[in-house]
Chain A
Amino acid sequence: MKTTHRAVPGIALALATSLALAACGGGSGFEDSGDSGDSSSEGGGALKVLIGSSGDAETKAVQDAVAAWSEESGTEASVQAATDLPQELSQGFTSNNPPDVFYVSTDTLAGFAANGSLLAYGDQLSNADDFYPTLVDAFTVDDQFYCAPKDFSTLGLVINTRLWKEAGLTDADVPTTWDELETVAGTLTRGDVVGLTFGPEYQRVGSFFPQAGGAMVSEDGTEATVDSPANLEALEFVQGMMRDGVAAYSSDLGAGWGGEAFGKELAAMTIEGNWIAGAMENDFPKVDYTVAELPEGPAGKGTLAFTNCWGIAEQSDNQEDAISLVEALTSADQQLAFADAFGVIPSVQSAAQEYADGRPTFQPFVDGAEYAQNPPSQEGAADVISDFNAQLEGLQDGDPEAILQSVQQSMQAVVGQ
């Protein structure tokens, strides 16, 4: 018998936990007045906000913002930072007691939308038209605008100023095409330093796809286009740079991500998003860098956009107040405050000018928003992407065509549902 219970791993424990939580949330006791309905007519209860924070700065900024809203509206609200956001959210939903407002990433959006956890409130927002259209697309599932984009990031080319000068390069040499990128990467590859680095994942390597005119799925999201000639061209270009030794994965340099390899000066350039600013400031304050837009490929400019949104639970007792809180959190002023606190780019166009004026270095990231592509967010796409990432790790010695074909197959299975 002992083997029996040892043999059912994590999940049994998780279910036991959710059962216990369900018992608390089910409404028979405690202060929770049970299922929704009656409580919302009384103006609703306190709001619970759950965030996946990047650090103390972010947690504090959100806490302050929520506290300010709370004071103004008279509705209590508390903020908690999750250690494992998807897991804690899932536990909340299974026990009918989810947080009211929470971060949702694009890869988990479809799953939560499909199982009915999320309230599709996007159109009810007063500032709905102010968001960048790309970001609204990212959070639209089956023509429903689910949740308000919280902020966004795009990828840019981050350049180490010192290594750049030492290699005899000037501002005029900042690469604007693939050929130039390959050339400067070659020039910068000296001694132990590699010219260009990026993480072994679609979320970095994939930025070359739109530059070649490719994408993971067709525009309307009904067809997988992973094995397109454009994507193949992009992947072969990346593979070529890696084989020539002028580009390398951050993992091959012994770093956890591109920013770490860049900060340790193992590489002179990296493809990263604006979040690199925080890491550079905290961990590598002595390394000077500039940012440029990613170079153009055969089909023009391209980059990837990453974003999170403020999700509201369908099961929330207090949806009205939750929406008002999200309006406050996504207002231009509030987003500029967040930008100051933890380096994100505001998701509303009305804040773009002021944001860029205050941070000329970040202009390339903001410019990227105009032509950025969203990673695929169909239900199940996250698994396909992680499979793609697993295969990309072997890109240097691998066969790009075979990789794309195998991902095409799994992606088609996902979008064809």
Chain B
Amino acid sequence: MARTINSGRTRDGWLFVAPAFVLLAVFLAFPVLMALWVSVSDWRGVGSPFSGDVGFVGAENYSNILTGGSLQQRDFGTAMRNNVYYVLFVVPIQTALALALAVLVHHRALKGRGFFRTAFYFPSVTSAVAITVLWLFLFNSSGAVNAALGWVGIDGPNWFGDARGIFHTALGAVGVDAPAALTEHRMLGISWWEWLAGPSFAMSAFILLAVFTTSGTFMLLFIAALNNIGEEVDEAGMVDGAGAWQRFWHLTLPMLRPTVFTVLTLGLIGTWQVFDQIYTGTQGGPAKTTLTPAYLSFQASFNSQRWGEGAAIAFILFAIIVLLTLFQRWALREKS
């Protein structure tokens, strides 16, 4: 008897998870496997990738992107450079800002906390496309940002039209010009000097955009975590004679470690996949300085009919994100 009941339970269990399982398989696992197959095939975007006349080409699509000094490799190198700077700037800034905002609006002494929480969170709920369009206006060469810079005597750049890297511009201002040692050697098809360009002014505007829109979301996570830390911890610190800064640095922050990990991970994933702002805003320009691997993947597939390379870029991006997340987990581990 008991066995019958149990086996019935198992069957029912399977029955209940089946819909979710089928949905996941059809809309998640299958497309991922399909993309994986496309990345090692010579499929040209006509008919099914599983039809008989699509051949296996091994790692050819990957090697086209990663080696050989071809235009594809240079484009990928440029996209990687752009995105590395995007990640390097956005992730730390948005995390720090989110934490700072959370601490501020968490403070009980603050009047109208609800108002500030809503205000800071607001950019996060606005559509990315709408905000991007707003940004294009704000950062126009004769837009509000440059007008504001004009008040303090700064002649602002033509943001979304300016392809100069900010590091190059800064170095140029102090008289440093491309040293031969850096221009001669290349990685992923572009020279070391190009790698050191820094984000272009156009990309810098996107960096500010990302910080502006995502800090609010992460602020919520930090507020939730702060609420979980009992007041007695803070009070105990006070009794021990710790100042406000010491209490934050030695008590609050260590207790926020899991949240910091979450925020960094989410930030890392989001920034490596930046696509919609680029698609609506600049389509990779000026001078390819806002090209990102995600956008390049789209472009290679849909506009150039090089589906294999497009899929390969997606998987390289996937590998990068996984590796970085693992690294981050290791770096933020409990060191006791």
Residues of A within 8 A of B (CB): 3-16, 19, 22, 84, 86-87, 90, 93-94, 96, 108, 111-112, 114-117, 200, 251-254, 315, 380, 382-384, 386-387, 389-391, 393-394, 410, 413-414
Q: CB-CB < 8 A to B269: which residues of A?
A: 3, 6-7
* Interface size classification for chain B: 35 or more
**Contact between A387 and B71, CB atoms less than 8 A apart:** yes
**Contact between A9 and B294, CB atoms less than 8 A apart:** yes
Assembly CA distance A200 to B38 (angstroms): 35
Q: CB-CB < 8 A to B285: which residues of A?
A: 389-390, 393
Q: List 14 A-B contacts (CB under 8 A).
A: A3-B269, A6-B273, A10-B275, A15-B34, A87-B302, A90-B301, A108-B303, A111-B304, A117-B46, A251-B161, A254-B140, A254-B142, A386-B284, A387-B74
Q: What 1/0 flags go to B294-313 for Cβ under 8 Å of A?
A: 10011001111100001100
Q: CB-CB < 8 A to B35: which residues of A?
A: 8, 11-12, 15
Interface class of chain B by DSSP? helix
Q: Which of A12, A115, A384 contacts B31 (CB 8 A)?
A: A12
Q: Which of B26, B70, B273, B305 contacts A90 (CB 8 A)?
A: B305
Q: CB-CB < 8 A to B317: which residues of A?
A: 7-9
**Contact between B297 and A10, CB atoms less than 8 A apart:** yes
**Contact between A11 and B298, CB atoms less than 8 A apart:** yes
Q: Does residue B315 face the partner (Cβ distance < 8 Å to A)?
A: yes
Q: Which of B70, B265, B284, B305 contacts A115 (CB 8 A)?
A: B305
Q: Which of A3, A4, A93 contacts B45 (CB 8 A)?
A: A93
Assembly CA distance A138 to B247 (angstroms): 72
Q: Which of A11, A12, A112, A414 contacts B305 (CB 8 A)?
A: A112
Given contacts A5-B28, A413-B70, contact A393 B286 (CB under 8 A): yes
Q: Does residue B27 face the partner (Cβ distance < 8 Å to A)?
A: yes
Q: CB-CB < 8 A to A4: which residues of B?
A: 32, 318, 322
Q: Which of B71, B158, B294 contacts A383 (CB 8 A)?
A: B71
Q: Which of B71, B161, B163, B301 contacts A14 (CB 8 A)?
A: B301
Closest CB pairs A-B (n = 9): A115-B44, A254-B141, A111-B305, A251-B161, A16-B31, A390-B287, A7-B318, A410-B71, A390-B288
Q: CB-CB < 8 A to A414: which residues of B?
A: 71
Q: CB-CB < 8 A to A254: which residues of B?
A: 140-142, 158, 161
Q: Does residue B56 face the partner (Cβ distance < 8 Å to A)?
A: no
**Contact between B46 and A93, CB atoms less than 8 A apart:** yes
Q: CB-CB < 8 A to B34: which residues of A?
A: 15, 19
**Which A residue's beta carbon lies closest to that of B74?**
A387
Given contacts A9-B275, A15-B31, contact A394 B314 (CB under 8 A): no
Q: Which of A5, A6, A383 contacts B75 (CB 8 A)?
A: A383
Q: Does residue B30 face the partner (Cβ distance < 8 Å to A)?
A: yes
Assembly CA distance A14 to B161 (angstroms): 30
Assembly CA distance A414 to B284 (angstroms): 21
**Contact between A394 and B163, CB atoms less than 8 A apart:** yes
Q: Does residue B259 face the partner (Cβ distance < 8 Å to A)?
A: no
Q: Does residue B48 face the partner (Cβ distance < 8 Å to A)?
A: yes
Q: Which of A96, A114, A117, A251 contacts B48 (CB 8 A)?
A: A96
Q: What 1/0 flags go to B118-147 for Cβ under 8 Å of A?
A: 000000000000000000000011100000
**Which A residue's beta carbon lies closest to that of B300?**
A383
For the complex formed, measure the closest distance between the CB of A332 and the CB atoms of chain B, giving whole angstroms.
33
Q: Does residue B325 face the partner (Cβ distance < 8 Å to A)?
A: yes
**Which B residue's beta carbon lies closest to that of A19?**
B31
- In the complex, which of the residues A8, A387, A390, A410 has the most CB atoms of chain B within 10 Å of its own CB atom? A8
**Contact between B32 and A3, CB atoms less than 8 A apart:** no
Q: CB-CB < 8 A to B241: which residues of A?
A: none
**Which B residue's beta carbon lies closest to that of A313?**
B46
